[in-house]
């Protein structure tokens, strides 16, 4: 595991008010990244997107996220040991999501807060890291009134090109604390590709061919399952669409 030392920097105070629910044990270190800009059209965050860094060390990820050469960033980076760095103020638009969509939101960067987790994608996420993520999400969701169903993975909004946070990320753990959503509907439904795609679009996924959509969906909701679309996939997708329909009428791109 990498040990990351904070780099001195200056930052103007955030316009977002501190939350009374911020756990006292969560310490956020400032490490400003130049890779950000204004949120477009006065947008405010109503999504949280979770990523993994896919790099060998947290130190390497921190350097890349703060390098003007690579033009990528996130609002937060959480190291394996639970150390949390704020790279971009929440009122600013970090460059973490790229091309993709959730519901009708196509400029995800302007409508989201991005959280990077130091992980290669090949190992489980450390307990201290998950503890820090839960504390951070509790604070973010409370301050911005973001519902749990709008905490998503990078692969949810960009299933054609992204796989993070991957099948080792514990979405069920977050859902048990109302920090995301999950489904355990066990009653199968007759497989129907068109209906499956429609249900996932109703939940928020972008229009995507089944061959890319099914792996992205399973990575989050059935990480150990493989094979063709089945009744359990159908039941889970329908449950999500029914309980957590994305409100497309109230969302703007």
The residues assigned a catalytic role are 116
Q: How far apart are CA 117 and CA 129, in angstroms?
A: 8
101 phi/psi in degrees, rounded to 5: -160, 145
The token pair that represents 198 in the structure block: 């429609």
The token pair that represents 211 in the structure block: 């061959």
Helix or strand holding residue 14 (H, E):
none
Q: Tokens 């390497």, residue?
A: 60
Q: How far apart are CA 140 and CA 47, in angstroms?
A: 10
Residues with Cβ within 8 Å of 238's Cβ and at least 6 positions away in sequence, in order, are 185, 189, 195, 199
Q: How far apart are CA 48 and CA 114, in angstroms?
A: 6
**Neighbour count for residue 174 (Cβ, 10 Å):** 20
Give the strand order in the sheet containing 84-86. 28-30, 84-86, 76-78, 112-117, 47-52, 151-153
């Amino acid at each position: 595991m990498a040990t990351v030392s904070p780099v001195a920097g200056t930052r103007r105070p955030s316009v977002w008010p501190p939350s009374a629910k911020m756990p006292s044990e969560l310490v956020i270190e400032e490490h400003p990244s130049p890779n950000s800009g204004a949120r477009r059209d006065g947008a405010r965050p109503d999504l949280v997107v979770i990523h993994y860094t896919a790099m060998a060390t947290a130190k390497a990820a921190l350097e890349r996220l703060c390098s003007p050469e690579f033009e990528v960033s996130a609002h937060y980076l959480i190291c394996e040991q639970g150390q949390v760095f704020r790279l971009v103020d929440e009122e600013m638009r970090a460059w973490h999501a790229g091309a993709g969509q959730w519901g009708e939101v196509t400029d995800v960067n302007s409508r989201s807060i991005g959280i990077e987790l130091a992980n290669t994608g090949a190992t489980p996420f450390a307990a201290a890291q998950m503890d820090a993520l839960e504390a951070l999400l509790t604070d973010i969701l409370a301050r911005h009134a973001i519902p749990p169903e709008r905490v998503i993975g990078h692969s949810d909004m960009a299933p054609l090109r992204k796989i993070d946070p991957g099948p080792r990320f514990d979405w069920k753990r977050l859902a048990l604390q109302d920090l995301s959503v999950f489904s355990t509907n066990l009653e199968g439904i007759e497989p129907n590709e068109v209906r499956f795609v429609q249900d996932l679009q109703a939940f928020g996924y972008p229009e995507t061919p089944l061959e890319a959509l099914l792996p992205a969906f399973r990575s989050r909701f059935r990480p150990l399952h493989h094979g063709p679309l089945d009744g359990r996939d159908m039941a889970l997708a329908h449950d999500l669409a029914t309980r957590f329909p994305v409100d497309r009428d109230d969302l703007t791109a």
